[in-house]
């Protein structure tokens, strides 16, 4: 019998089961505390849930435009202006997507031609690389090394060339928790200008920067407004990751790329949830302050708990993730270690190797998420006590 593959060459190499899925399955089977996935285990804000119910009852239940709910686009434009001093037209410069994931894949499809080079930083958010491959782009990797994850100018400069079409930036960065410095963002802006490169800047953790660090959008740097698509979402700030509401912000010549792709793929998004989301961004400063206080407290707690348990954690500057070195335990391979941690210890983490195209030598890291209830983190620490050091 001839066994044919019906998959296109673009996706043939993709694995249909990911380490993420395996760890989640194991977590459920072994009743482990799941610190692998980056979503909260606590309730979403009441005012947002009420707004969603209201929208459905008011019959905001039919297709919305491909651009998305106008009130939501207006709130996003307002926030960009009041927070960052950046002026965008809600009618032409902002589009709503099915989460940041769709925003990024639509932007890549709309901007990258087969054979174009696309620079990305690794470790990376898991959908970046497949999105580049689906568009026929050639990935060029800049590898971050622990513990400081600094950008080295020469190393970065060496991967830019005439063939570079696009760079994918993520700050604050998942999974390292790094917030790109002013100097690093200026360097990126200079290189984009020099090589005439476009940027997608994934800023979904823009409201989660710790120790008084300020987020600064890449599009605010010289010459970047015209060449950047900024991506953000509702889920990471308002604790509704399952709503999958994301957006792109860019001048019309770039926004077009996203809208054209979405016009003929998704068409539109969820009308009532977008309607509800439109009130969220106008939340008081107190909402953002409380959010940050809670996340910073969780970060500090998990950091200390891991250090007490024999890990060597790296303090993140932003996001809801923390990377920890596990070389004090008798494991060589991070996937094996995560299986052991889930099955025997009862806590789930994500191995760093799944977030690099090639894990650098001597990197022994796993990622934990701390967007969890206090009692969840406390229970995780209790379970860490069972770990044996080598
Ligand atoms: C860096 C980054 N970008 C995008 C996303 C996905 O966002 P969404 O759920 O809105 O698609 C995530 C989710 O974890 C992320 O960490």
- HEC string of 13-62? CCCCCCHHHHHHHHHHHCCCEECCCCCCCCCCCHHHHHHHHHHHHCCCCC
The CA distance from 155 to 144, in Å, is 11
- Residue pLDDT, tens place only, 176-235: 999 999 999 999 999 999 999 999 999 999 999 999 999 999 999 999 999 999 999 999
Identify which of 373, 371, 347 has the alpha carbon closest to the alpha carbon of residue 177: 371
Q: Residue 5: pLDDT above 80?
A: no
State the burial class of residue 2 (Cβ atoms within 10 Å of its Cβ: 0-12, 13-18, 19+).
exposed
pLDDT at 4 over 70: no
Task: Specify whether the CB–CB gap between 264 and 62 falls below 8 A.
Answer: no
Minimum mean pLDDT among 38-52, 276-290, 348-362: which range? 276-290
- pLDDT at residue 324 greater than cutoff 70: yes
Q: In a mutational test of the pocket of ligand 1, which residue from 170, 236, 243, 246 has the highest number of ligand atoms less than 8 Å from its CB? A: 236
Tell me the average pLDDT across 70-98.
97
Above 90 in pLDDT, residue 302? yes
pLDDT at residue 369 is higher than 70: yes
Ligand 1 atom with the shortest distance to the CA of 205? 1
pLDDT at 390: 61
Tell how strand 164-170 and strand 138-143 pair up.
unpaired
Residues within 6 Å of ligand 1 by CB? 38, 99-101, 125, 170, 174, 202, 204, 233, 235, 241, 244, 246
Report the percentage of the chain scoring pLDDT > 90: 88
Residue pair 102/269 in contact (Cβ under 8 Å)? The answer is: no
Q: Measuring CA to CA, how many Å separate 66 from each of 69, 242, 259?
A: 9, 20, 7
- Please tell me the distance between residue 216's alpha carbon and the centre of ligand 1 in angstroms: 18
Q: What is the mean pLDDT of residues 130-148?
A: 97
Ligand 1 center–CA 213 separation, angstroms: 21
**3-class state of residue 343 by DSSP:** helix
Dump strand ranges (E) for the chain. Answer: 33-34, 94-98, 117-122, 138-143, 164-170, 198-202, 228-233, 245-249, 312-314, 321-325, 347-348, 350-351, 365-369
Q: Ligand 1: which residue has its CA nearest to atom 2?
A: 125
Is 46 a residue whose pLDDT tops 80?
yes
Centroid of ligand 1 to alpha carbon of 100 (angstroms): 6
Round the average pLDDT of the chain to a whole number and report it: 95
Ligand 1 geometric centre to CA of 171 (Å): 12
Looking at residue 243, the DSSP 8-state letter turns out to be G
Beta bridge partners of 198: 166
**pLDDT given at position 252:** 98
Percentage of residues of the chain with pLDDT beyond 70: 98
How many angstroms separate the alpha carbon of residue 388 from the centre of ligand 1? 34
Region 53-75: mean pLDDT is 96
Q: What is the mean pLDDT of residues 44-63?
A: 95
Distance 33 CA to ligand 1 centre (A): 21
How many angstroms separate the Cα of 104 from the Cα of each of 211, 298, 303? 29, 29, 31
- Domains of the chain (ranges plus CATH)? 9-44+286-384 (3.90.1150.10), 63-280 (3.40.640.10)
Q: What ranges make up the beta strands (E) of 234-289?
A: 245-249
Best CA proximity match to 238, nearest among 300, 194, 282: 282
Confidence of residue 2 (pLDDT cuts 50, 70, 90): low
Q: What is the pLDDT averaged over residues 287-293?
A: 92
The predicted model gives 146-171 an average pLDDT of 97
DSSP state of 341: I
pTM: 0.96
DSSP letter assigned to residue 209: B
307-to-70, 154, 286, 304 alpha-carbon distances in Å: 47, 34, 32, 5
For residue 57, the tally of other CB atoms under 10 A from its CB is 10
State pLDDT tens for residues 235-289.
Answer: 999 999 999 999 999 999 999 999 999 999 999 899 999 999 998 887 778 889 9
Which residue's CA lies nearest to atom 16 of ligand 1? Answer: 174
Are 339 and 25 within 8 A, CB to CB?
Answer: no
Residue 14's pLDDT is what? Answer: 87
Q: Which of 97, 174, 369 to mutate to test the pocket of ligand 1 (most atoms within 8 A of CB)?
A: 174
What is the model's pLDDT at position 281? 82
């Amino acid at each position: 019998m001839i066994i044919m593959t019906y998959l296109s060459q673009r996706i043939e190499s993709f694995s249909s089961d990911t380490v993420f899925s395996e760890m989640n399955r194991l977590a459920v089977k072994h009743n482990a505390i799941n610190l692998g996935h980056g979503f909260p285990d606590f309730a979403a804000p009441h005012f947002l849930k009420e707004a969603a119910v209201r929208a459905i009852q008011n019959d905001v239940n039919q297709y919305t435009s491909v651009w998305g709910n106008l009130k939501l686009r207006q709130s996003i434009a307002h926030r960009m202006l009041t927070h960052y001093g950046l002026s965008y037209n809600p009618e032409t410069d902002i589009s709503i997507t099915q989460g940041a994931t769709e925003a990024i894949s639509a932007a890549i499809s709309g901007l990258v031609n087969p054979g174009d080079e696309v620079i990305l930083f690794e470790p990376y958010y898991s959908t970046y690389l497949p999105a580049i491959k689906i568009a026929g782009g050639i990935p060029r990797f800049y590898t971050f090394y622990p513990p400081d994850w600094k950008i080295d100018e020469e190393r970065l400069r060496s991967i830019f060339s005439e063939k570079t079409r696009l760079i994918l930036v993520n700050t604050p960065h998942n999974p390292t928790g790094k917030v790109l410095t002013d100097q690093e963002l200026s360097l990126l802006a200079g290189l984009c200008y020099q090589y005439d490169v476009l940027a997608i800047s994934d800023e979904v953790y823009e409201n989660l920067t710790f120790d008084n660090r300020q987020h600064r959008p890449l599009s605010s740097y010289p010459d970047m407004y015209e060449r950047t698509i900024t991506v953000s979402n509702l889920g990471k700030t308002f604790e509704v990751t399952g709503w999958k509401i994301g957006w792109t912000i860019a001048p019309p010549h770039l926004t077009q790329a996203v809208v054209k792709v979405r016009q003929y793929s998704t068409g539109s998004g969820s009308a009532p949830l977008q309607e509800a989301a439109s009130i969220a961004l106008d939340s008081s400063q107190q909402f953002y302050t409380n959010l940050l206080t809670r996340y910073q407290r969780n970060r500090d707690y998990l950091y200390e708990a891991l250090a007490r348990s024999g890990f060597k954690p790296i303090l993140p500057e932003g996001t809801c993730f923390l990377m920890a070195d596990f070389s004090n335990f008798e494991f060589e391979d991070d996937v094996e270690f995560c299986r052991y941690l889930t099955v025997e210890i009862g806590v789930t983490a994500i191995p760093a190797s799944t977030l690099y195209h090639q894990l650098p030598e001597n990197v022994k890291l796993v990622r934990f998420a701390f967007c969890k209830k206090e009692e969840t983190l406390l229970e995780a620490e209790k379970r860490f006590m069972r770990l044996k050091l080598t």
